[in-house]
Amino acid sequence: MKIDPHSYAESFITEDPFKTYARARGVEIGADDVTPGVGAYLKHLAFTLSAQSVVEIGTGSGVGSLWLLDGMLASGTLTSIDDEMEHTQIAKLAFADAEISPTRYRLITNSVLDVISKLTDRAYDLVVVRHDPQDLAFVISEAHRILRSGGAMVIDSFFGGSKVNDPAQRDPKTVALRDAGKIIKNDTEHWVSTLLPTGDGLLVATKL
Residues 6+ apart with CB under 8 A from 194: 203, 204, 205
pLDDT in tens, 107-135: 999 999 999 999 999 999 999 999 889 89
Distance from the first to the final alpha carbon of the chain: 45
Residues 6+ apart with CB under 8 A from 152: 45, 49, 125, 126, 127, 204, 205, 206, 207
The DSSP call for residue 15 is P
What was the pLDDT predicted at 131?
Answer: 86
Written as one letter, the residue type at 208 is: L
pLDDT in tens, 140-178: 999 999 999 999 999 999 999 999 999 999 999 999 999
pLDDT in tens, 14-54: 999 999 999 999 999 999 899 999 999 999 999 999 999 99
Residues 6+ apart with CB under 8 A from 41: 196, 198, 202
What was the pLDDT predicted at 160?
Answer: 95
- Position 3 confidence tier, pLDDT thresholds 50, 70, 90: confident
What was the pLDDT predicted at 132?
Answer: 85
